[in-house]
Amino acid sequence: MYKIPARWVQAGKTYPVYAKNRPTPARASHSGGCQDDSPIYNRDVCAEPQKSPLAVFNDDVVRCQKCARLRVYCESIAYSKRRAYSDWIYWAKPVPSFGDERASVLILGLAPGAHGSNRTGRPFTGDGSGDFLYPVLHATGFASQARSVSRSDGMQLRGCWISAVVRCAPPDNKPRPEELTNCAPHLDREIALLPNLRVIVCLGRVAFDAFLRHLKRVGQLEKRRYRFAHGAEYELAGGRHLLASFHPSLQNTSTRKLSQAMLLEIFERARAIVPRWAPEAGSEGERRAVTA
């Protein structure tokens, strides 16, 4: 039997733990299950600030393995790579959402790009769609910079949160219906964790339809006709607004089906609905409008 050296106990050090007794990542994340009287948690770890519910949510997304086809595809892309990114270690896991946890605007995309988000690990980062979207978010005050190239590029979002209806890159950017269904509970959980939402911007028809199914699941789909069109806007229960836009995919932007001016109009409309917010000095979580 392993005996803890007396000098360690006196010094208050962490007890060594056999591999089989190590906490799983879920427990180590302190998602509400911290057992600080257990010898496997030391005082220093328990003193760390608790993760926010959205950070725990993102951790759970990254560990998700529900769609075998997509998981295999993402990892195979990470192995074969694109020549231009041969020196990258691809993310190759489900892509977590990104943004301001107090967001009033949700941007809902389709799925990670095989060599974009699947490489960088952040939505709309490192591919043509992001090169098109982020300058617009920057111009409308939602993003701190116009270029999004990696998770460590310093980008910060303010008042918006970016997610997708499928969080693993699908072959040909086409998720199967069962994969959309598998990923739907993530969206339901995430939206419940964003209480300040006022505007939902759906990028593309697939995201638009997936958001309507979310409304149906949570019993908030009103009996009316919803039609996807660029610039379509619907007022939802609770004063929320649903805005529809073409997706900024290369297919749409290279054919000029979607221009940057068209996308800018969508986010200017979102900006008109929600004022700019800034945290109240000295009281985290409270907000005040700085401009209308």
Q: Please write down the HEC assignment for all residues of 73-109.
A: HHHHHHHHCCHHHCCCCCCCCCCCCEECCCCCEEEEE
Among 78, 143, 168, 206, binds ligand SF4 (CB under 6 A): 168
**Does the protein bind ligand SF4 through residue 190 (CB under 6 A)?**
no
**Does the protein bind ligand SF4 through residue 67 (CB under 6 A)?**
yes
Residue with tokens 């896991």: 93
Instruction: Report the alpha-carbon distance of residue 272 to residue 173 in Å, rounded.
Output: 32
**Does the protein bind ligand SF4 through residue 58 (CB under 6 A)?**
no
CB 166 within 8 A of CB 110: yes
Question: Which segment (59-67, 230-238, 255-263, 266-274) binds ligand SF4 by CB under 6 A?
Answer: 59-67
CB 271 within 8 A of CB 141: yes
Interface positions, 84-113, toward ligand SF4 (CB under 6 A): 94
Residue closer to ligand SF4 by CB (options 60, 233) is: 60
Question: Which segment (177-185, 220-228, 266-274, 283-291) binds ligand SF4 by CB under 6 A?
Answer: 177-185
Q: How far is the CB of 114 from ligand SF4 (least distance, A)?
A: 13
Question: Which segment (4-12, 18-26, 176-184, 276-284) binds ligand SF4 by CB under 6 A?
Answer: 176-184
Instruction: Report the alpha-carbon distance of residue 37 to residue 88 in Å, rounded.
Output: 42
Nearest Cα to Cα of residue 233 among 268, 264, 269, 259: 269
- Residues near ligand SF4 (CB under 6 A) are 61, 64-67, 70-71, 94, 166-168, 179, 182-183, 186
